[in-house]
Structure 1
Amino acid sequence: MKQKENVKIIQGFYDHIVEVHKEYYAFWKEHILFHWDWWLSVALAVIPWLIWVKVHRKESRGRLLYVIFFLIIVTAGLDFLGVILGLWYYPGKIVPIIPSYIPWDFSLIPVIITLLIQFKPHIAPWKKALFFSGLTAFVGEPIFMKLGLYTRIHWEYFYSFPIYIALYLIADKLSKTDSFAPLS
């Protein structure tokens, strides 16, 4: 009997979520789609990839894509968690169905990190991690706030700093792995 009651209560939550999504989609379609912030978000999602395609080391493409996929999964997951927990949200999203911010998680973070990894390889990874983290947490995030693309609720920029350091250092380590063997 308890299971049926739980299912009914959970169904109520999902019905409420569906209704809120319908309302949000209508709002997004009317007030966000094709407005300046939407176009800026599209540009931020596409332009870094165009740059990456042009300047990345072609002979390292597989290794870099391995790192990129790791970064996308982790950043999108963390971003999703932050939005769901009410720590921040994104007013000008490209699509209304994904809680995370596509340009940040699927483009800017992975492209910038992989470009930093491949250029000036003689610089210590921890120095690059500090540079990336400081620039991203204390310059990038405030700019996105001022542009209205990112709204913090229960989050501070300095919380992001160690997370970006860890992301960079793990990505750097993954980029140097020798565990790949031929498939044949």
Structure 2
Amino acid sequence: MKSIQDPEKIKQVGEYYKTIEEANHEYQHYWMQHTFLHWDFWTSVCFSLIPWLIWFRLRKKESTARYLFVGFFVIIVSCWFDFIGVCLGRWFYTGKVMPTIPSYIPWDMSLMPVTVMLMIQFKPQMSLWLKAALFACLASFVGEPLFSWLGLYVPVKWNYFFSLPIYGLIYLVSHWLSKRKSFQ
């Protein structure tokens, strides 16, 4: 079927994607030689699995679906922001679990959602704003510098302070979602 899109535009955009495909292929080769099964790979695997094992053990079982809903929200939002940051050249990652995903799986799909879920579950009487500030500060000024020190996260055009409001907002929206009446 013939497209209604301008054929020249299709050709030009296809060239950009071909360049991306070639770069991905080169990176996958590099990853196989220099990351796969090395210390940074295993560190990332541990950061991917251990938080979920901890959550599985500590979760309030009758609220599992509600917390997983919040956790999946955090995963989607953090992966989306991470993808944008990587694509815009603000940061990049080494020691990745998978070379094909631009975002960092341990941070976006494990540490962030599990931390948010556990913070919502524990100390429910604690101030929402204090918890959001605590989460944002821990993620921005402990998590990011730690991963940077390990060499797993390399900020290029980014400052830890820029992350503070983003993490705070992620926590506030997650908390709000966890209190929806459809879970009662």
> So what's the TM-score if we normalise by structure 2?
0.95
Give the aligned partner of residue 175 of structure 2.
172
In 2, distance between residues paired with 1:137 and 1:156? Answer: 9
Equivalent residue letter for 1:50: L
Give the aligned partner of residue 134 of structure 2.
131
User: Among residues 34, 41, 44, which one is paired with 1:41 in the alignment?
Assistant: 44
Q: Is the contact made by 2:94 and 2:152 (CA closer than 8 Å) also made in structure 1? A: yes
Give the aligned partner of residue 84 of structure 1.
87
In 2, distance between residues paired with 1:47 and 1:88? Answer: 25
Give the aligned partner of residue 150 of structure 1.
153
- The reply on whether 1:32 has 2:38 as its aligned counterpart is no
1:94-133 aligned within 5 A: 94-133=97-136
The number of residues matched between the two structures is 181
In 2, distance between residues paired with 1:130 and 1:98? Answer: 29
In 2, distance between residues paired with 1:180 and 1:112? Answer: 20
- The reply on whether 1:3 has 2:9 as its aligned counterpart is no
User: Among residues 65, 89, 92, which one is paired with 1:62 in the alignment?
Assistant: 65
1:15-30 aligned within 5 A: 15-30=18-33
SS at match of 2:74: helix
Displaced runs of 4 or more, over 2 A: none
Q: Deviations over 1:19-54 (max 9, x none)?
A: 111111100000010110110000000000000000
SS at match of 1:154: coil
Which has the larger displacement, 8-17 or 133-142?
Answer: 8-17
Structure 2 residue runs of 5 or longer lacking an equivalent are none
RMSD value over aligned CA atoms? 1.4
In 1, distance between residues paired with 2:17 and 2:137? Answer: 39
SS at match of 2:182: coil
SS at match of 1:151: strand
In 2, distance between residues paired with 1:42 and 1:137? Answer: 22
Equivalent residue letter for 2:127: A
> So what's the TM-score if we normalise by structure 1?
0.95
